[in-house]
Amino acid sequence: MGGILCCIFSWVVRGHYKGQQIGKVVQVYRKKYVIYIERVQCEKANGTTVHVGIHPSKVVITRLKLDKDRKKILERKAKSRQVGKEKGKYKEELIEKMQE
């Protein structure tokens, strides 16, 4: 068990729990591709309540808790994407200068 748990607020968009549930992600089970959300629970036969696993593709993240390490990662990825966009592309002015 375990994985990426960062106090995400999410909203279920498909399935039995669609629309009504907005809550924090309690647990992420990466091996099963399942997340457990705070208010999505069912009652077992013996009376105990358990969280129901939901596939992450059926959930929309509405709010994300970012600490300094996560912000650094996002900034680094954004920076590398900007460099990748300009790499190898020719602009019209540059082509005209090359032809002269």
Q: 49 lies in a domain? A: yes
Q: 54 lies in a domain? A: yes
pLDDT digits (tens, 9 = 90+) for 26-57: 888 989 999 898 888 889 999 999 998 988 88
CATH no. for residue 94? 2.30.30.30
Strand ranges, E, within 49-94: 49-54, 59-63
Q: What region, left, alpha or beta, does residue 15 occupy, with left being phi > 0 and alpha being psi -120 to 50 degrees?
A: left
- pLDDT over 80 (residue 99): no
Give the Cα separation of 24 and 3 in Å (integer). 15
pLDDT classification of 3: cutoffs 50, 70, 90: very low
Expressed as residue numbers, the domain containing 13 is: 9-99
pLDDT of residue 1: 44
pLDDT of residue 93: 66
- Burial (CB < 10 A; 0-12, 13-18, 19+), residue 25, is buried
The answer to whether 42 and 50 are in contact (CB under 8 A) is yes
Q: 3 lies in a domain? A: no
